[in-house]
Chains A and B, each alone.
Chain A
């Protein structure tokens, strides 16, 4: 039983411990691939830890994919402690697929410097209330339902999360961009490669939250700035 020397193992009690931000951290630090390996479904040593991990890892995959990372760099697999052969074959297959992709920044949607910046934004979003709240409610909403007894399918929950991912990425990117200097909607739209009406919607939402305010008017365009650097960082 032999496998590639290119993998390093970090031991956790349960895959349920995997915080989605840890996954982002690994790529920010420069990992080329990351595997989360836990118990088989229905046979979790911690009852339902792997069910929660599925949501957390799934969230990280979708968000990092949106941020420009090739989602094939993340694998969530099941392997019991008695399945050494299976572990080897999982690692070997993953290693092969990562080798085909090449190091981080090749085979991904974005080039290294832009990718890294986006990964930082994604990490911020993964640490914040909105996505974490929905991820935390995921299994409840798909099994017992919400307060009103409405049940949602996995598909509906992932679609909801996908929408929030877009909102959160844009929101944090705008905050990040405005923290470096005040900008108009059109400039932000060019930098973030999003349609100006979308940017306007997010900027106005940030204004309502009291995080962003008007810095002045350049020509015909209002220029926005971050009101409080500290509050913007914590947002």
Chain B
């Protein structure tokens, strides 16, 4: 026979926060009349030490097996009261919270009678749900202390080194045959003037010599299964497949460069892009006569609405380089808006102007025309067309999302933004994490970044990734999806396709194909339970029965 349900209800005055606007005495009296309620106590502050002691004492003395607290918001106080229940010897998930402060006393300050009546309903609904609560055990899972970093550009190498230096094993996977990524194509880096290739070489050497880093070049990631702590990775190195397990994954796959074919007479010879200019700048003797740079070439248009953000500074940096090489080089930058954020960048912008670099604003509705020996541009401020002499035209083209981003996003079950760059979990709260636990992101894979920004992000991502790595074990709140009716499940996979976290999988069992919940990966949103036509899935502490019981307790007491 099932154990008798014995519910204790604690009604909090919250000083005058609740008691000032609701009749708490009446609430307490009312709670005594509810089914299964064997004990009711009004507290001045249920969350105070005295209040929690009363909860703990009542659990023991009254033999309570469910606790309901009618007080404030679970956002701040649910963990506390759960902890109190746990200390009192009750499973923390046999606790239900009713919010009579935010939902009653604060928002019905002038309506004591109606507000109190509403609070009674809410308590009745909470008690009804509490009667159906079941104990839950926290979900623990070990974390494999190895990390995988995808991409060995400056971001990937920085992240890999940061983790390796903390003592974690890192597998650094690079699809091309060498490390360094975009750095290999650059000349010098602003504002420090460091030589890009030597920075790449220095990092490559540290990576190569580090005992904790295993570098796999010419390698693609073919498959990723699993979840935080246990990602099973299958790699392919020149046709040879291999596999390993990693606890966390950092995506540092960088970005591509737009080849502006069909734009402004681009030919790679007389009309080139900034990257091709930097290749030429590596030769000390290179010094063209007149150079015209055109900003936003292939960016901020219908096809690519975004601003690539770094091209203004790249143009300014290269313009300075040209001027410093030969002051008589004419450099004219045709721009739409200049992005020179931060003190150092602003200083470089000023320096370029002082060196005689001419900045000419153009209207995208009347774009510059590249002709033999000249560039014709309508000067927005002068209100007339200028004809600028040119021996070389340099197009500032945007960084574009890597062409395998879509494949990687499917492998990892992470999101891309509208421009196919990887999308962080939250702009402000989780800028280096994906929404999926255990996967992090840095550098150009996220959005065009300068080398300095890429390095900062890489260090940040490594730092985020080392949180689960250093814990070694992770504990997850057990409010997750569960297969409550295995018999009913047909293994159709409808839920698997809709799970935002990849927390469901179809497995072969003795009874055929069945869904399996991966509790560590599940966040408890309940999409699967609301979808299943066999009603085989449910969410702990938010079961169909519990929600229905709340509905009927409200409407048909």
Enumerate chain A interface residues (CB-CB to B < 8 A): 1-3, 5, 8-14, 16-22, 25-26, 29-31, 46-49, 52-53, 56, 81, 88, 127-129, 132-133, 135-137, 139-140
Cβ contacts B454-483/A at 8 Å (1 or 0 each): 000000000000000000000000010000
Cross-chain contact B74 with A52 (CB below 8 angstroms): no
Cross-chain contact B542 with A12 (CB below 8 angstroms): yes
- Which residues from chain A contact B380 at a C-beta distance below 8 Å? none
- Which residues from chain A contact B348 at a C-beta distance below 8 Å? none
Nearest CB in chain A: distance from B117 CB, A: 7
**Knowing A10-B551, A13-B479 touch, does A30 contact B531 (C-beta < 8 A)?**
no
Cross-chain contact A8 with B125 (CB below 8 angstroms): yes
Nearest CB in chain A: distance from B359 CB, A: 36
**Knowing A5-B111, A13-B542 touch, does A136 contact B529 (C-beta < 8 A)?**
no
Q: Is B433 an interface residue (CB 8 A)?
A: no
Can you name the residue of chain A whose Cβ is closest to the Cβ of B119?
Answer: A5
**Could you say which of B111, B530, B548, B551 has the most chain A C-beta atoms within 10 Å of its C-beta?**
B530
Cross-chain contact B544 with A19 (CB below 8 angstroms): yes
- Which residues from chain A contact B531 at a C-beta distance below 8 Å? 52, 56, 132, 135-136
Q: Show 17 A/B contacts (Cβ-Cβ < 8 Å), sorted by A.
A: A3-B108, A5-B111, A5-B114, A12-B547, A17-B526, A17-B539, A19-B530, A25-B551, A25-B552, A31-B554, A46-B523, A53-B530, A129-B534, A132-B532, A136-B494, A136-B498, A136-B531
Q: Is B118 an interface residue (CB 8 A)?
A: yes
Q: Is B555 an interface residue (CB 8 A)?
A: yes
Cross-chain contact B533 with A49 (CB below 8 angstroms): no
- Which residues from chain A contact B122 at a C-beta distance below 8 Å? 8-9
- Which residues from chain A contact B494 at a C-beta distance below 8 Å? 133, 136-137
Cβ contacts B522-557/A at 8 Å (1 or 0 each): 011111011111110001001010011011101110
Nearest CB in chain B: distance from A69 CB, A: 15
Cross-chain contact A128 with B550 (CB below 8 angstroms): no
One of B114, B115, B415 near A47 (C-beta < 8 A): B415
Once the chains are docked, how many angstroms separate the CA of A53 from the CA of B498?
A: 12
**Could you say which of A5, A12, A48, A128 has the most chain B C-beta atoms within 10 Å of its C-beta?**
A5
Q: Is B421 an interface residue (CB 8 A)?
A: no
One of A22, A30, A47, A140 near B556 (C-beta < 8 A): A30
Q: Is B103 an interface residue (CB 8 A)?
A: yes
Once the chains are docked, how many angstroms separate the CA of A21 from the CA of B109?
A: 35
Cross-chain contact B497 with A132 (CB below 8 angstroms): no
- Which residues from chain B contact A17 at a C-beta distance below 8 Å? 525-527, 529-530, 539, 542, 547
Once the chains are docked, how many angstroms separate the CA of A129 from the CA of B531?
A: 10
Cross-chain contact B551 with A22 (CB below 8 angstroms): yes
Once the chains are docked, how many angstroms separate the CA of A210 from the CA of B495?
A: 29
Once the chains are docked, how many angstroms separate the CA of A12 from the CA of B109?
A: 26
- Which residues from chain B contact A53 at a C-beta distance below 8 Å? 530
Q: Is B227 an interface residue (CB 8 A)?
A: no
**Knowing A13-B479, A30-B556 touch, does A136 contact B526 (C-beta < 8 A)?**
no
Q: Is B501 an interface residue (CB 8 A)?
A: yes
Cross-chain contact B498 with A29 (CB below 8 angstroms): no
Once the chains are docked, how many angstroms separate the CA of A60 from the CA of B539?
A: 21
Cross-chain contact A14 with B526 (CB below 8 angstroms): yes
In the complex, chain B residues 407-435 whose Cβ is within 8 Å of any chain A Cβ: 415, 435
Once the chains are docked, how many angstroms separate the CA of A20 from the CA of B527?
A: 11
Once the chains are docked, how many angstroms separate the CA of A19 from the CA of B548?
A: 10
**Knowing A12-B547, A13-B524 touch, does A129 contact B107 (C-beta < 8 A)?**
no
Can you name the residue of chain A whose Cβ is closest to the Cβ of B124?
Answer: A8
For the A-B complex with A9-B122, A52-B530 known, give 12 more contacts whose Cβ atoms are closer than 8 Å: A2-B108, A8-B122, A10-B550, A17-B529, A19-B530, A29-B556, A31-B551, A47-B500, A88-B107, A129-B533, A136-B531, A136-B533
Cross-chain contact B525 with A49 (CB below 8 angstroms): yes
One of A8, A13, A29, A140 near B497 (C-beta < 8 A): A140
- Which residues from chain B contact A30 at a C-beta distance below 8 Å? 555-556
- Which residues from chain A contact B550 at a C-beta distance below 8 Å? 10
- Which residues from chain B contact A5 at a C-beta distance below 8 Å? 108, 111, 114-115, 117-118
Once the chains are docked, how many angstroms separate the CA of A16 from the CA of B542?
A: 12
Cross-chain contact B500 with A46 (CB below 8 angstroms): yes
Once the chains are docked, how many angstroms separate the CA of A205 from the CA of B494?
A: 26
Nearest CB in chain A: distance from B489 CB, A: 13
One of A14, A46, A56, A133 near B533 (C-beta < 8 A): A133
- Which residues from chain A contact B174 at a C-beta distance below 8 Å? none
Once the chains are docked, how many angstroms separate the CA of A53 from the CA of B527?
A: 8
Q: Is B301 an interface residue (CB 8 A)?
A: no
Q: Is B16 an interface residue (CB 8 A)?
A: no
Can you name the residue of chain A whose Cβ is closest to the Cβ of B480?
Answer: A13
Cross-chain contact A29 with B525 (CB below 8 angstroms): no
Once the chains are docked, how many angstroms separate the CA of A19 from the CA of B495?
A: 13
Q: Is B187 an interface residue (CB 8 A)?
A: no
Once the chains are docked, how many angstroms separate the CA of A127 from the CA of B530?
A: 10
One of A16, A129, A137 near B530 (C-beta < 8 A): A16
Cross-chain contact A16 with B118 (CB below 8 angstroms): no
Can you name the residue of chain B whose Cβ is closest to the Cβ of A132?
Answer: B533
- Which residues from chain A contact B326 at a C-beta distance below 8 Å? none
- Which residues from chain A contact B103 at a C-beta distance below 8 Å? 9
Nearest CB in chain B: distance from A29 CB, A: 4
Cross-chain contact B500 with A49 (CB below 8 angstroms): yes
Cross-chain contact A46 with B544 (CB below 8 angstroms): no
Cross-chain contact B529 with A19 (CB below 8 angstroms): yes
Cross-chain contact B530 with A25 (CB below 8 angstroms): no
- Which residues from chain B contact A11 at a C-beta distance below 8 Å? 74
One of B114, B117, B501, B530 near A20 (C-beta < 8 A): B530
- Which residues from chain A contact B371 at a C-beta distance below 8 Å? none
One of A8, A18, A29, A135 near B121 (C-beta < 8 A): A8
Nearest CB in chain B: distance from A166 CB, A: 19
Q: Is B110 an interface residue (CB 8 A)?
A: yes
Once the chains are docked, how many angstroms separate the CA of A5 from the CA of B121?
A: 11
Once the chains are docked, how many angstroms separate the CA of A21 from the CA of B535?
A: 11
Cβ contacts B488-504/A at 8 Å (1 or 0 each): 00000011011011000
Once the chains are docked, how many angstroms separate the CA of A53 from the CA of B495?
A: 14
**Complex A-B, nearest 3 residue pairs according to Cβ-Cβ distance, in ascending order:** A17-B526, A47-B500, A46-B525
Cross-chain contact B555 with A26 (CB below 8 angstroms): yes
Once the chains are docked, how many angstroms separate the CA of A135 from the CA of B415?
A: 22
Can you name the residue of chain B whose Cβ is closest to the Cβ of A29?
Answer: B555
**Knowing A5-B111, A17-B529, A137-B494 touch, does A47 contact B435 (C-beta < 8 A)?**
yes
